[in-house]
Structure 1
Amino acid sequence: MDGRWVEVAEGVLVRRHTELDLNTGLVLGEQGCLVIDTRGDGVQGAELAAAVREVTPLPWRVVLTHAHFDHSFGASAFAPCEIWAHQRCGPALAAGAEADKKAWSEYYREQGRPEVAEAILAAEPVPPTHPVAERTELDLGGRVVELLPTEHGHTDHDLLVWLPEVSVVFTGDLVEQGAPPAFKGSWPLAWPAAVEQVLALKPSVVVPGHGEPVDRAFVREQLAELGRVAELCAEVSAGRLDRAAALRRSPYPEDFTADALQSVTNHSGHA
């Protein structure tokens, strides 16, 4: 079974997965538990469900931080249950699932892992049952979890999972540790504002979508880098800087910055 539990606060666990250095989460209440993200296919989702059941027999609800396959395609292993997500997550999942299946099954075949490729192709993404349009509280019994939708950042439907009692926030891929943020399909000009929303909570522990849990100092440093990328993208978009110069000046590797520039072009004229 891939993964190990790390307790970041009382009753708040992070499942650290070797595959893609992914994080999922588990929040324990007195009457129920909340599973945060579900991994990338039905097999991986079933592994996570079994790991949750080794910790607690409590009835579960699921929350998805965003629709990307590695965070959402395992939800069928938990169904039927409430699945909470940003109000734009359902449409994004419906629109992008087949492309994700194609791209990532090809990736895993190239990596010599056909069994993972087949599992992704066989995955049956489950639409969220509870769209979140504004700050929403989930009562797990003796513990309240807040779901906080953002506007645009890593996607146009990122959802923060905030536990004010213990000062822990799960950010999905709005924050990344161990690798640069993934800009493909993102909203680079707006991303810094979404991370400012994270910092405004003044969390003690920030759980990124991938990598080790971090503190506010790490997030502030990443915010500065994201701000620099946003500035470079804006300069290129306005014709004041050429693409090659932006790639040289970026705090991130060339291919990541190229994705950011392309995303700005793709979303030009949209919110």
Structure 2
Amino acid sequence: MITMQPAGAAFASTADVEPKRITFEQLSAHAWAYTAEGDPNSGVIIGKDSCVVIDATATPLLARDLIARIRAITDKPIKHVVLTHYHAVRVLGASAYSGEGATEIIASRATRELIVERGQADMDSEIGRFPRLFAGAETIPGLTWPTLTFERSMTLHLGDLEVQVQQPGMGHTRGDTIVWLPEEKVLFSGDLVEFESAAYTGDAHLGAWPETLRKLRALGPEKLVPGRGRALGTAAEAQKAIDYTARFISALYDTAVSAVRDGADLKETMRRVRARMDPEFSHVFIYEHCLPFDVSRAFDEAHGVEHPVIWTAERDRAMWEALR
């Protein structure tokens, strides 16, 4: 039986208080994955003379754990921090890297534009949704601003190691960025790819996302660090994660488009989405957290709302109450 959120369900992830087991594992000669049972992942690349961190964590306090793990294996400076997109859980820990040699915080130009437009609202919204992930929020000095932006692609050279930073297309947000090691075929996808976790689509471009995933498939990754979920250690597993994400996105958006075509309202659209998606996805990380935001965005996009509506703390709560 498919049901709506129970009336007493805690808002978003406010009831998620249990600590997660963190894994820091080497994937290739130069790449490491920092994962935590469905919490947002980070990546690390250690080159000849310096390091790159992909996604800075939610707070400077949390970033210090990742820094300590890096320092356990190298004393090379962390010269670059790459932001895969603008969401607070990915970027607000960036200030912790200033004392570790970080000279550049890199993001796509579209990501910077989104920070200008909605960064403060997103920060306030996400802290309310995920209090555990924002432990030490008082250590956040403010919004994280990139010091270097790019369009489409740029390349870093860590000695003789080539690190490609690319904006392959829209999906999770308008500014999504990946990091690709072509020699080692390691892909850091950000939230363009998830594995055994819900895809958060509250700020997504759902119609464009499948084509962006096609481009990631074409790279032929043999290792993949998704936005959430465990790191994937083989080419087959990497493709499986991309396919998993594609199924999630298509099930959500196709159902919403069909519901809107039939004249369904938001609650009826949610009911239809749950009927289709619960059997495959209801057990995965943050599914119940994401689904109301996901359906709201899918409903909007199906109505022709191209630019995602800004989420505020007030809009979060109103939507949650409307869909309970």
Structure 1 length normalisation: TM-score?
0.86
Residue 276 of structure 2 corresponds to 249
Distance across 2 between alignment mates of 1:95 and 1:123:
19
Cα distance, 1:235–1:206 mapped onto 2, change above 3 Å: same
Residues 17-76 of structure 1: CA deviation (Å, up to 9, x unaligned): 36x522111111112211111100121123323332332222321101111111111111
The match for 2:43 is 25
Paired residue for 2:126? 104
Please tell me whether residue 143 in structure 1 is matched to residue 170 in structure 2.
Answer: no
Query: CA 1:258–1:167 in structure 2 vs 1: closer, same or farther (change >3 Å)?
Result: same
| Aligned CA distance change for structure 1 residues 122 and 198 (closer, same or farther; 3 Å) | same
Q: State how 1:202-217 maps to structure 2 within 5 Å.
A: 202-214=220-232, 215-217=238-240
- Structure 1 distance, partners of 2:155, 2:130, is 38
Going from structure 1 to structure 2, the CA distance change for 1:29 and 1:118 (only over 3 Å counts) comes to closer
- Per the alignment, residue 176 of structure 2 pairs with 158
Counterpart check, 1:196 vs 2:218: no
CA–CA separation in structure 1 for the residues paired with 2:40 and 2:295: 25
Asked if the contact 1:189–1:233 (Cα under 8 Å) also holds between the matched residues in 2, the reply is no
Alignment root-mean-square deviation, CA = 2.7
- Give the whole-Å Cα distance in 2 for the aligned partners of 1:30 and 1:122: 31
* 1:162-200 alpha-carbon deviations (Å, 9 max, x no partner): 111111101111111232111222222222122112111
Task: State how far apart, in whole Å, the 2-side matches of 1:85 and 1:210 are.
Answer: 19
Rate the CA distance shift 1:95–1:54 in 2: closer, same or farther, 3 A. farther
After superposition, the Cα gap between the structure-2 partners of 1:105 and 1:117, relative to the gap in structure 1 and judged at 3 Å, is farther
Task: Provide closer, same or farther for how the CA distance between residues 174 and 269 of structure 1 changes in structure 2, counting only shifts above 3 A.
Answer: same
In the alignment, the residues of structure 2 paired with residue 117 and residue 15 of structure 1 have an alpha-carbon distance, to the nearest angstrom, of: 18
Match of 1:95 in 2: 117
Deviates more, 1:247-256 or 1:194-203: 247-256
TM-score for both structures, normalised by structure 2:
0.73
Deviating 4+ runs (over 6 angstroms): none
Question: Given the superposition, is the C-alpha separation of residues 217 and 171 from structure 1 closer, same or farther in structure 2, using an over 3 Å criterion?
Answer: same
Deviations 1:101-158 (A, max 9, x none): 323333455xxx6x94551684423211111212211111110011110332111111
SS of 2:198's partner is coil
Paired residues for 1:65-144 under 5 Å: 65-79=84-98, 81-107=103-129, 116=134, 119=137, 122-144=140-162
Question: For the residues of structure 2 that align with 1:65 and 1:247, how far apart are their CA atoms?
Answer: 29
Query: What SS does structure 2 have at the residue aligned with 1:139?
Result: strand
Between 1 and 2, higher relative CO (CA 8 Å, sep ≥ 6) is seen in 2
Aligned match for 1:13, one of 23, 26, 32 = 32
Distance of aligned partners of 1:108 and 1:152 in 2 relative to their CA distance in 1, 3 Å threshold? closer
8 Å CA contact 1:2–1:47 kept in 2: the answer is no
**Percent of aligned pairs with the same residue?**
24
CA distance in 1, matches of 2:55, 2:68: 14
For 2:224 and 2:160, how far apart are their aligned partners in 1?
22
Number of residue-to-residue matches in the alignment: 265
- Corresponding position of 1:181: 199
* Rounded Cα–Cα distance in structure 2 between residues aligned with 1:2 and 1:77: 22
Alpha carbons of 1:4 and 1:177: their partners in 2 closer, same or farther (altered >3 Å)? same
Instruction: Tell me if structure 2 keeps the 8 A contact 1:207–1:213.
Output: yes
Residue of structure 2 in register with 1:226 after alignment: 249
Q: Which consecutive unaligned segments of at least 5 residues does structure 1 have?
A: none
